[in-house]
Amino acid sequence: MFNRKTVAIIGLSVANIFILATKIAEENAVLLFDHDASVVNKMFLQLRSENPNATVEVMTCPINASWEADIIVLANYYLEQANLIHQIKKVATGKSIVILMAEEEKNKAAEYRDSFQDLFTFSKIICVFVSDKDNHDCFVFEGNNEEPLQTYLTFFTTIGLKVIK
């Protein structure tokens, strides 16, 4: 069993992000950030409705969310925000960074993974794709480094997600 983790989810409009956040929140703390306050508030209320005992917090700053987190999930438009990424770099040393993408964007994965690994040299980078198969609750994992990939395959499987390597 894993120790309880704190997971920052930065970017909440990816398909199936609610499934991911719900599963994480069952046993771990979740920090939510998106520039669209209505999206964040809706996600927060849904998560609390699903699990009133969940540790879920709305964050007003992605840097603070990243600083507090053990695992940083970056999704959507935030992957392209160079200034934000450089700010997160200051607080992400040694942390795991999950790049969350839609499966149709899989052709960009190696580019993102390599550029993030160059930037976050002491962090573990993995790509996760939201699969369009199996009722949209399956996640496909990819990475350069077998150890963090296996660690997070195990973590995400343990919290109840369907994962494919």
- pLDDT given for residue 28 in this prediction: 95
- pLDDT given for residue 133 in this prediction: 63
CATH 3.40.50.720 corresponds to the domain 6-164:
yes
Please state at what angle helix 17-27 crosses helix 37-50, rounded to 10 degrees: 50
Domain boundaries, the chain: 6-164
- pLDDT given for residue 137 in this prediction: 63
User: What's the predicted TM-score (pTM) here?
Assistant: 0.88
- pLDDT given for residue 2 in this prediction: 60
Provide the 3-class DSSP secondary structure of residue 28. Answer: coil
Provide the 3-class DSSP secondary structure of residue 113. Answer: helix
- pLDDT given for residue 132 in this prediction: 63
DSSP structure class, residue 30: E
Residue position matching structure tokens 């992605």:
62
- pLDDT given for residue 135 in this prediction: 55
Residues of the chain with pLDDT under 50: none
